[in-house]
Amino acid sequence: MNRYLGVLLLVLAVVAPSPAQEKPPLRLVQTISLSGLQRHWDHFGVDVKSNRLFLTSEEEPVVDVFDLKTNKLIHTITGLKGSHNVLAFPELRKIFIVDGEASELKIYNYDTYELVGHTELTIDADPAVYDPATKYLYVVNGGRAAKTPYCLISVVDTVSGKKLADIKLDTNRLESMALEKSGPRLFVNMTGANKIGVVDRQKRTVVDTWPVTAAIENVPMQYDESTHRLFVATRKPSRLVVLNTDTGKEVTNLPTADSVDDLAYDAANHRIYLPGGNLNGAVGAVTVVQQKDADHYEVIANIPTKPGARTARLVPELNKYYVSVSTKDDPQGAQILVFDVVP
Protein backbone atom coordinates (compact mmCIF):
# COMPACT_ATOMS: atom_id res chain seq x y z
CA MET A 1 0.00 0.00 0.00
CA ASN A 2 1.19 3.53 -0.80
CA ARG A 3 2.57 5.15 2.36
CA TYR A 4 0.45 8.32 2.09
CA LEU A 5 -2.71 6.33 1.29
CA GLY A 6 -2.11 4.19 4.37
CA VAL A 7 -1.82 7.24 6.64
CA LEU A 8 -4.87 8.85 5.01
CA LEU A 9 -6.96 5.76 5.73
CA LEU A 10 -5.75 5.91 9.33
CA VAL A 11 -7.02 9.48 9.66
CA LEU A 12 -10.36 8.70 8.00
CA ALA A 13 -10.99 5.97 10.56
CA VAL A 14 -12.23 8.65 12.98
CA VAL A 15 -15.30 9.39 10.83
CA ALA A 16 -17.33 6.57 12.37
CA PRO A 17 -16.77 6.29 16.13
CA SER A 18 -16.59 2.80 17.55
CA PRO A 19 -19.44 1.58 19.77
CA ALA A 20 -17.14 1.98 22.76
CA GLN A 21 -16.38 5.60 21.82
CA GLU A 22 -19.62 7.44 20.95
CA LYS A 23 -18.00 10.89 20.96
CA PRO A 24 -14.52 11.98 19.85
CA PRO A 25 -12.07 12.12 22.77
CA LEU A 26 -10.68 15.46 21.55
CA ARG A 27 -12.78 18.43 20.34
CA LEU A 28 -11.15 21.30 18.44
CA VAL A 29 -12.24 24.57 20.09
CA GLN A 30 -9.80 27.13 18.71
CA THR A 31 -7.12 27.64 16.08
CA ILE A 32 -4.51 30.23 17.08
CA SER A 33 -3.11 31.70 13.86
CA LEU A 34 0.07 33.76 13.93
CA SER A 35 0.11 35.40 10.53
CA GLY A 36 3.53 36.56 9.43
CA LEU A 37 5.41 34.44 11.98
CA GLN A 38 7.79 31.88 10.53
CA ARG A 39 8.19 29.05 12.99
CA HIS A 40 9.50 25.49 12.97
CA TRP A 41 8.16 24.74 16.41
CA ASP A 42 9.50 21.92 18.56
CA HIS A 43 8.34 21.04 22.09
CA PHE A 44 6.03 22.86 24.49
CA GLY A 45 6.61 23.94 28.05
CA VAL A 46 3.81 24.86 30.44
CA ASP A 47 3.45 26.72 33.71
CA VAL A 48 -0.11 26.56 34.97
CA LYS A 49 0.61 28.77 37.98
CA SER A 50 1.50 31.74 35.77
CA ASN A 51 -0.93 30.75 32.98
CA ARG A 52 1.87 30.49 30.43
CA LEU A 53 2.46 28.14 27.53
CA PHE A 54 5.94 28.12 25.98
CA LEU A 55 6.79 26.99 22.45
CA THR A 56 10.36 26.35 21.36
CA SER A 57 11.63 26.80 17.83
CA GLU A 58 14.33 24.67 16.22
CA GLU A 59 15.23 27.07 13.42
CA GLU A 60 14.34 30.53 14.75
CA PRO A 61 16.25 32.07 17.71
CA VAL A 62 13.15 32.48 19.88
CA VAL A 63 10.74 30.93 22.38
CA ASP A 64 7.14 32.14 22.07
CA VAL A 65 5.09 32.63 25.24
CA PHE A 66 1.28 32.40 25.21
CA ASP A 67 -1.34 33.21 27.83
CA LEU A 68 -3.26 30.04 28.75
CA LYS A 69 -6.40 32.04 29.56
CA THR A 70 -6.60 34.14 26.39
CA ASN A 71 -4.49 31.90 24.09
CA LYS A 72 -2.71 35.02 22.86
CA LEU A 73 1.01 35.57 22.25
CA ILE A 74 2.24 37.72 25.15
CA HIS A 75 6.03 37.60 24.84
CA THR A 76 8.88 36.33 22.70
CA ILE A 77 12.16 35.33 24.32
CA THR A 78 15.00 36.12 21.92
CA GLY A 79 18.76 35.51 21.80
CA LEU A 80 18.61 31.75 21.36
CA LYS A 81 20.14 29.59 18.64
CA GLY A 82 17.91 26.52 18.53
CA SER A 83 15.71 25.74 21.52
CA HIS A 84 14.07 22.38 22.20
CA ASN A 85 12.59 22.36 25.71
CA VAL A 86 11.36 24.81 28.36
CA LEU A 87 10.84 24.15 32.07
CA ALA A 88 9.45 26.82 34.38
CA PHE A 89 9.91 26.63 38.16
CA PRO A 90 7.68 29.04 40.13
CA GLU A 91 9.25 28.11 43.46
CA LEU A 92 12.74 28.94 42.14
CA ARG A 93 11.55 31.97 40.12
CA LYS A 94 13.47 30.58 37.15
CA ILE A 95 12.82 29.42 33.60
CA PHE A 96 15.21 26.90 32.03
CA ILE A 97 15.52 26.67 28.23
CA VAL A 98 17.47 23.88 26.56
CA ASP A 99 19.28 25.69 23.72
CA GLY A 100 20.71 22.77 21.76
CA GLU A 101 22.44 24.75 19.04
CA ALA A 102 24.15 26.94 21.64
CA SER A 103 25.32 23.85 23.57
CA GLU A 104 23.92 25.12 26.83
CA LEU A 105 21.06 25.42 29.27
CA LYS A 106 19.93 29.06 29.51
CA ILE A 107 18.42 30.30 32.77
CA TYR A 108 15.95 33.21 32.85
CA ASN A 109 14.20 35.25 35.50
CA TYR A 110 10.72 33.82 36.02
CA ASP A 111 8.96 37.19 35.88
CA THR A 112 11.07 39.44 33.64
CA TYR A 113 12.56 36.89 31.19
CA GLU A 114 15.99 38.38 31.88
CA LEU A 115 18.86 35.99 31.15
CA VAL A 116 20.50 35.28 34.50
CA GLY A 117 22.69 32.23 33.91
CA HIS A 118 24.15 29.55 31.65
CA THR A 119 25.00 25.89 32.15
CA GLU A 120 27.43 24.58 29.56
CA LEU A 121 26.50 21.37 27.75
CA THR A 122 27.61 19.78 24.48
CA ILE A 123 25.87 20.44 21.18
CA ASP A 124 22.45 19.00 20.32
CA ALA A 125 21.08 19.26 23.86
CA ASP A 126 17.41 18.35 23.57
CA PRO A 127 15.27 16.10 25.85
CA ALA A 128 15.02 17.06 29.50
CA VAL A 129 13.22 15.60 32.51
CA TYR A 130 12.93 16.93 36.06
CA ASP A 131 13.16 15.12 39.40
CA PRO A 132 11.17 17.20 41.93
CA ALA A 133 12.50 15.19 44.88
CA THR A 134 16.11 16.28 44.30
CA LYS A 135 15.45 19.35 42.11
CA TYR A 136 17.81 17.84 39.55
CA LEU A 137 17.30 18.29 35.83
CA TYR A 138 18.46 15.55 33.45
CA VAL A 139 19.37 16.80 29.96
CA VAL A 140 20.39 14.74 26.92
CA ASN A 141 23.23 16.18 24.84
CA GLY A 142 26.00 15.12 22.47
CA GLY A 143 25.92 12.23 20.03
CA ARG A 144 25.42 12.71 16.30
CA ALA A 145 25.90 16.48 16.12
CA ALA A 146 28.93 16.24 18.42
CA LYS A 147 30.31 13.47 16.19
CA THR A 148 30.71 11.10 19.13
CA PRO A 149 29.57 7.45 19.30
CA TYR A 150 27.99 8.14 22.68
CA CYS A 151 25.52 10.58 24.26
CA LEU A 152 25.53 12.23 27.65
CA ILE A 153 22.78 12.78 30.18
CA SER A 154 23.90 15.81 32.17
CA VAL A 155 22.67 16.17 35.75
CA VAL A 156 22.00 19.82 36.60
CA ASP A 157 21.11 21.22 40.04
CA THR A 158 18.30 23.69 39.29
CA VAL A 159 18.87 25.54 42.58
CA SER A 160 22.50 26.44 41.83
CA GLY A 161 22.35 26.05 38.04
CA LYS A 162 25.52 23.94 38.17
CA LYS A 163 26.15 20.70 36.30
CA LEU A 164 26.88 17.91 38.77
CA ALA A 165 27.73 14.98 36.52
CA ASP A 166 27.54 13.42 33.05
CA ILE A 167 26.12 9.94 32.53
CA LYS A 168 27.49 8.28 29.40
CA LEU A 169 25.32 6.02 27.20
CA ASP A 170 26.77 4.03 24.34
CA THR A 171 24.64 5.24 21.45
CA ASN A 172 24.88 8.36 19.33
CA ARG A 173 21.16 9.15 19.58
CA LEU A 174 18.93 9.53 22.63
CA GLU A 175 15.45 10.90 22.09
CA SER A 176 13.44 11.00 25.31
CA MET A 177 13.37 10.08 29.00
CA ALA A 178 10.84 9.12 31.67
CA LEU A 179 11.48 9.29 35.38
CA GLU A 180 10.34 6.81 38.02
CA LYS A 181 9.22 8.71 41.13
CA SER A 182 8.95 5.70 43.46
CA GLY A 183 12.46 4.46 42.71
CA PRO A 184 15.83 5.50 41.28
CA ARG A 185 15.25 4.50 37.66
CA LEU A 186 15.39 6.79 34.65
CA PHE A 187 14.14 5.24 31.40
CA VAL A 188 15.90 6.46 28.27
CA ASN A 189 15.05 5.95 24.61
CA MET A 190 18.37 4.78 23.13
CA THR A 191 17.13 5.40 19.60
CA GLY A 192 20.49 4.77 17.94
CA ALA A 193 20.63 1.30 19.51
CA ASN A 194 16.88 0.53 19.25
CA LYS A 195 16.76 -0.08 23.00
CA ILE A 196 15.42 1.31 26.25
CA GLY A 197 18.21 2.16 28.66
CA VAL A 198 17.58 1.90 32.40
CA VAL A 199 19.68 4.37 34.37
CA ASP A 200 20.08 4.28 38.15
CA ARG A 201 19.93 7.96 39.13
CA GLN A 202 21.72 7.33 42.42
CA LYS A 203 24.58 5.32 40.90
CA ARG A 204 24.49 7.46 37.74
CA THR A 205 25.07 4.52 35.48
CA VAL A 206 23.19 2.29 33.05
CA VAL A 207 22.03 -0.83 34.92
CA ASP A 208 20.00 -2.55 32.18
CA THR A 209 18.86 -2.30 28.57
CA TRP A 210 15.69 -3.64 26.96
CA PRO A 211 15.37 -4.22 23.20
CA VAL A 212 12.49 -2.68 21.25
CA THR A 213 11.55 -5.46 18.82
CA ALA A 214 8.20 -4.31 17.36
CA ALA A 215 9.74 -1.50 15.28
CA ILE A 216 12.72 0.85 15.04
CA GLU A 217 13.37 4.56 15.54
CA ASN A 218 11.86 4.80 19.01
CA VAL A 219 11.41 8.50 19.79
CA PRO A 220 8.92 9.88 22.40
CA MET A 221 8.18 8.13 25.69
CA GLN A 222 5.93 8.38 28.76
CA TYR A 223 5.55 6.29 31.91
CA ASP A 224 2.43 5.17 33.77
CA GLU A 225 3.89 4.40 37.15
CA SER A 226 0.59 3.10 38.56
CA THR A 227 0.62 0.11 36.18
CA HIS A 228 4.40 -0.10 35.63
CA ARG A 229 3.92 0.43 31.90
CA LEU A 230 6.23 2.38 29.60
CA PHE A 231 4.78 3.86 26.41
CA VAL A 232 7.12 4.30 23.44
CA ALA A 233 6.30 5.61 19.96
CA THR A 234 8.29 4.32 16.98
CA ARG A 235 8.47 5.56 13.38
CA LYS A 236 9.52 2.57 11.27
CA PRO A 237 6.77 1.50 11.24
CA SER A 238 4.64 3.95 13.23
CA ARG A 239 3.58 2.07 16.38
CA LEU A 240 2.84 2.55 20.04
CA VAL A 241 4.87 -0.03 21.96
CA VAL A 242 3.94 -0.83 25.57
CA LEU A 243 6.58 -2.33 27.86
CA ASN A 244 6.35 -3.85 31.34
CA THR A 245 8.95 -2.10 33.51
CA ASP A 246 9.05 -5.01 35.95
CA THR A 247 10.31 -7.38 33.25
CA GLY A 248 11.47 -5.15 30.38
CA LYS A 249 9.24 -7.16 28.02
CA GLU A 250 6.90 -5.78 25.38
CA VAL A 251 3.22 -6.18 26.25
CA THR A 252 1.60 -5.07 22.99
CA ASN A 253 1.88 -2.63 20.09
CA LEU A 254 -0.65 -0.69 17.99
CA PRO A 255 -0.58 1.44 14.81
CA THR A 256 -0.37 5.24 15.13
CA ALA A 257 -0.24 8.35 12.99
CA ASP A 258 2.99 8.87 11.06
CA SER A 259 6.20 10.43 12.43
CA VAL A 260 4.99 10.94 16.00
CA ASP A 261 7.26 13.36 17.89
CA ASP A 262 5.41 13.70 21.22
CA LEU A 263 3.45 11.39 23.48
CA ALA A 264 1.16 12.23 26.41
CA TYR A 265 -0.44 9.94 28.97
CA ASP A 266 -3.76 11.14 30.34
CA ALA A 267 -3.99 9.48 33.77
CA ALA A 268 -7.50 10.78 34.49
CA ASN A 269 -9.02 9.24 31.36
CA HIS A 270 -6.50 6.41 30.92
CA ARG A 271 -5.61 7.53 27.40
CA ILE A 272 -2.50 8.03 25.32
CA TYR A 273 -2.27 10.84 22.75
CA LEU A 274 0.16 10.56 19.84
CA PRO A 275 0.38 13.52 17.43
CA GLY A 276 1.77 12.73 13.98
CA GLY A 277 2.04 14.27 10.56
CA ASN A 278 3.92 13.09 7.53
CA LEU A 279 7.15 15.04 7.07
CA ASN A 280 6.29 15.66 3.40
CA GLY A 281 3.07 17.41 4.32
CA ALA A 282 0.56 14.69 3.42
CA VAL A 283 -1.73 14.50 6.46
CA GLY A 284 -1.78 15.02 10.20
CA ALA A 285 -3.63 13.31 13.04
CA VAL A 286 -3.61 12.62 16.76
CA THR A 287 -3.96 8.91 17.46
CA VAL A 288 -5.86 8.35 20.71
CA VAL A 289 -5.36 5.03 22.49
CA GLN A 290 -7.57 3.86 25.34
CA GLN A 291 -5.87 1.96 28.17
CA LYS A 292 -8.36 -0.72 29.25
CA ASP A 293 -5.98 -2.20 31.80
CA ALA A 294 -2.22 -2.66 32.12
CA ASP A 295 -2.01 -5.12 29.23
CA HIS A 296 -4.90 -4.16 26.94
CA TYR A 297 -5.13 -1.09 24.69
CA GLU A 298 -7.33 0.05 21.80
CA VAL A 299 -7.06 2.81 19.20
CA ILE A 300 -10.35 4.70 19.69
CA ALA A 301 -9.82 7.65 17.32
CA ASN A 302 -7.52 9.39 14.89
CA ILE A 303 -8.34 13.09 15.19
CA PRO A 304 -7.44 15.08 12.03
CA THR A 305 -5.02 17.98 12.56
CA LYS A 306 -2.72 19.59 9.96
CA PRO A 307 0.24 18.38 7.87
CA GLY A 308 3.41 18.20 9.92
CA ALA A 309 1.68 18.77 13.28
CA ARG A 310 3.89 16.42 15.29
CA THR A 311 4.42 18.12 18.66
CA ALA A 312 1.77 18.71 21.30
CA ARG A 313 1.20 19.24 25.01
CA LEU A 314 -1.51 17.92 27.32
CA VAL A 315 -2.42 20.30 30.15
CA PRO A 316 -4.61 18.12 32.41
CA GLU A 317 -5.24 20.92 34.90
CA LEU A 318 -7.15 22.79 32.18
CA ASN A 319 -8.48 19.74 30.34
CA LYS A 320 -6.76 21.05 27.19
CA TYR A 321 -4.53 19.55 24.50
CA TYR A 322 -2.38 21.87 22.36
CA VAL A 323 -0.96 20.86 18.96
CA SER A 324 1.62 22.95 17.07
CA VAL A 325 1.52 23.53 13.31
CA SER A 326 4.81 24.81 11.91
CA THR A 327 5.00 27.34 9.08
CA LYS A 328 7.42 24.97 7.38
CA ASP A 329 4.64 22.45 6.88
CA ASP A 330 1.56 24.67 6.50
CA PRO A 331 1.26 27.45 3.90
CA GLN A 332 -1.29 29.25 6.11
CA GLY A 333 1.41 30.05 8.64
CA ALA A 334 2.25 29.00 12.18
CA GLN A 335 -0.73 27.81 14.19
CA ILE A 336 -1.68 26.17 17.48
CA LEU A 337 -4.70 23.88 17.53
CA VAL A 338 -6.48 23.95 20.90
CA PHE A 339 -8.55 20.87 21.80
CA ASP A 340 -10.82 20.19 24.73
CA VAL A 341 -10.27 16.75 26.25
CA VAL A 342 -13.65 15.00 26.25
CA PRO A 343 -14.06 12.46 29.08
Residue 251: closest CA among 262, 261, 240, 260 = 240
Query: Mind listing the pLDDT tens digit for each residue in 132-167?
Result: 999 999 999 999 999 999 999 999 999 999 999 999
Query: Mind listing the pLDDT tens digit for each residue in 293-309?
Result: 999 999 999 999 988 79
When comparing pLDDT for 19 and 194, which is higher? 194
- Please determine, for residue 172, whether its predicted confidence score (pLDDT) is greater than 60: yes
* Over residues 176-187, mean pLDDT: 97
For the chain, the structural domain boundaries read 1-34+214-343, 40-120
Residue 330: the pLDDT is: 60
Query: Mind listing the pLDDT tens digit for each residue in 274-284?
Result: 999 865 555 79
First vs last C-alpha separation in the chain = 35
Options 3.30.70, 3.40.50, 2.40.10, 1.10.10; which CATH number does 40-120 get? 2.40.10
* Over residues 268-290, mean pLDDT: 86
Residue 258: closest CA among 224, 286, 218, 216 = 286
- Give 327's pLDDT tier (boundaries 50, 70, 90): confident
Element holding 211 (H helix, E strand): strand 205-211
* Number of continuous H segments (helices) and E segments (strands) in the chain: 1, 28
Architecture of domain 1-34+214-343 in CATH?
7 Propeller (2.130)
Residue at 77: amino acid letter = I
Element holding 10 (H helix, E strand): helix 3-12
